[in-house]
Amino acid sequence: MTNALDDQYLTVAEAASLLKVHKSTIRRWIDYGELPAYRVGYRRVALKRSDIARLITPARTMQEKGGTMTQPEMEIIQRLSPEQQQQGFRALAELRRLHEEVRAQLGEKPLSPSWEILAELRDERSRQHS
| Domains of the chain listed by start with CATH number | 7-57 (1.10.1660.10), 82-129 (no CATH)
Quote the pLDDT of residue 14: 94
C-alpha R_g of the chain: 27
pLDDT in tens, 65-83: 555 554 444 455 677 788 8
Whether the predicted model's global pTM rises above the 0.85 cut? no
Greater confidence (52 vs 104) lies with 52
Whole-angstrom distance, CA of residue 117 vs CA of residue 124: 11
Segment 79-91 mean pLDDT? 87
